[in-house]
């Protein structure tokens, strides 16, 4: 067996997917399953699909290569790079867009291969990441898009709680459905999709305050961590430990709490400080900052704490643990969203589906 490793519970991912699909379908909302946090690892994508997810989304073209055999609509989340237009229309069916020049390039690329690429136009409701901010520009852009060949405008969407931390509410999301109605009327078009955000919109479903007309959510974190992200609450009857990091102990020694000698910079250019707790029993694990930040792990043994980390080592205080750890034993951590992202991206970490 190889360590460090991420162990992925396929049953738990399937369970979480099924729960969220059921929750959203009560409000006629389709879930787009977001796969970027686990780099679209195909075995994981397949159980999301088994759990009822019917559209797949990722931010990176490379990830769509891995799942091109899965026969479901694919949606590109990150605004397309003009330089990747050809790949975008080859590997995905729908993309989120806000720039008319990028859309023109997609139009050409799609026409060249006799495809029709679908567009969801992104509107910025105040979070200040992607999307058109001025309503006038939304109308102007729609007017241009509907003239293009190889492109079908299928809806409008928004993204919140990513850069600005803006919380989705009835008031701001309601603007999106209102805008959709006015666009349909003015241009005599059908916009079938109103894509109302990410896992931060779940709380509106739970409280019954999701505006009528929002019919799609793009969900990543709520599936992999069973968490809504407006307030960070766990979603009832879902798992928060679908992904676990397991690392091996390579040293256990009793040592003082304070280093001996004059203290200068550590390996990361910072001058460290220490609390004197006397002699402590310490364990070193073979996993480090190159793999994951210590703020992104949650120790499963509640009586162990993390003292620090360097590129390839985590240093743990195991003095208070009820477990009799020995060298060669394994330590298990739950992961945050950032933790899943970095461990799944690291080529040094084995990925095991269970």
Ligand X SMILES: *Cc1c(COP(=O)(O)O)cnc(C)c1O
Residue 261 CB partners (closer than 8 Å, separation 6+):
none
Residues 17, 51: Cα–Cα separation, whole Å: 5
Residues 336, 166: Cα–Cα separation, whole Å: 21
- Three-state DSSP state, 223: helix
Query: For the window 313-332, what string marks contact with ligand X as x by the rule CB under 6 A?
Result: --------------------
- In the list 63, 199, 215, 343, the residue contacting ligand X (rule: CB under 6 A) is 199
Tokens encoding 182: 């006015």
Query: For the window 47-76, what string marks contact with ligand X as x by the rule CB under 6 A?
Result: ------------x-----------------
Buried b (16+ CB within 10 A) or exposed e, 6-29: bbbbbebbbbbbbbbbebbeeeeb
Residues 235-294 close enough to bind ligand X by CB under 6 A: none
Residues 297, 333: Cα–Cα separation, whole Å: 6
Q: Which of 19, 36, 270, 302 is catalytic?
A: 36
218 part of the interface to ligand X, by CB under 6 A: yes
Q: Least Å distance between CB 221 and ligand X? A: 4
* Piece of the chain touching ligand X by CB under 6 A; list 12-20, 112-120, 219-227, 257-265: 219-227
Q: Least Å distance between CB 315 and ligand X? A: 31
* Piece of the chain touching ligand X by CB under 6 A; list 2-10, 18-26, 83-91, 217-225: 217-225
Residues 219, 57: Cα–Cα separation, whole Å: 9
Residue 36 annotated to the active site? yes
205 part of the interface to ligand X, by CB under 6 A: no
Residue 139 CB partners (closer than 8 Å, separation 6+):
183, 186
Q: Which residues bind ligand X (CB under 6 A)?
A: 34, 36, 59, 77, 96, 159, 198-199, 218-222, 229
């Amino acid at each position: 067996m190889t360590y460090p490793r991420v162990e992925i519970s396929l049953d738990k991912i399937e369970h979480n997917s099924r729960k969220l699909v059921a929750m959203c379908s009560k409000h006629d909302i389709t879930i787009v399953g977001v796969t970027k946090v686990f780099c679209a690892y195909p075995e994981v994508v397949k159980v999301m699909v088994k759990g009822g997810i019917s559209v797949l989304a990722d931010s990176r073209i490379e990830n769509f290569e891995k799942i091109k055999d899965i026969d479901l609509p694919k949606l590109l989340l990150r605004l397309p790079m003009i330089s990747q237009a050809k790949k975008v229309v080859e590997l995905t069916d729908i993309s989120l867009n806000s720039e008319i020049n990028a859309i023109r390039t997609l139009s050409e690329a799609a026409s060249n291969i006799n495809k029709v690429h679908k567009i969801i136009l992104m509107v910025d409701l105040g979070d200040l990441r992607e999307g058109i901010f001025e309503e006038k520009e939304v109308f102007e852009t729609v007017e241009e898009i509907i003239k293009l060949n190889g492109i079908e405008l299928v809806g409008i969407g928004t993204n919140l709680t990513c850069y600005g931390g803006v919380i989705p509410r009835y008031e701001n999301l309601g603007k999106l459905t209102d805008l959709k109605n006015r666009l349909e009327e003015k241009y005599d078009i059908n916009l079938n999709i109103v894509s109302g955000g990410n896992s931060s919109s779940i709380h509106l479903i739970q409280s019954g305050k999701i505006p009528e007309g929002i019919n799609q959510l793009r969900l990543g974190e709520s599936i992999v961590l069973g968490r809504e992200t407006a307030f960070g609450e766990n979603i009832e009857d879902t798992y928060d430990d679908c992904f676990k990091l397991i690392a091996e102990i390579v040293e256990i020694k009793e040592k003082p709490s304070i280093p001996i000698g004059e203290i200068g910079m550590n390996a990361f250019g910072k001058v460290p400080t220490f609390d004197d707790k006397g002699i402590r029993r310490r364990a070193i694990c073979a996993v480090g900052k190159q793999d994951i930040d210590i703020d992104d792990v949650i120790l499963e043994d509640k009586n162990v704490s993390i003292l620090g980390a360097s590129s390839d080592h985590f240093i743990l205080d195991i003095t208070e643990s009820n477990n009799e750890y020995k060298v060669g034993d394994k330590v298990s951590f739950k992961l945050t969203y950032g933790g899943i992202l970095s461990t799944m991206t690291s080529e040094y970490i084995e990925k095991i589906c269970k």
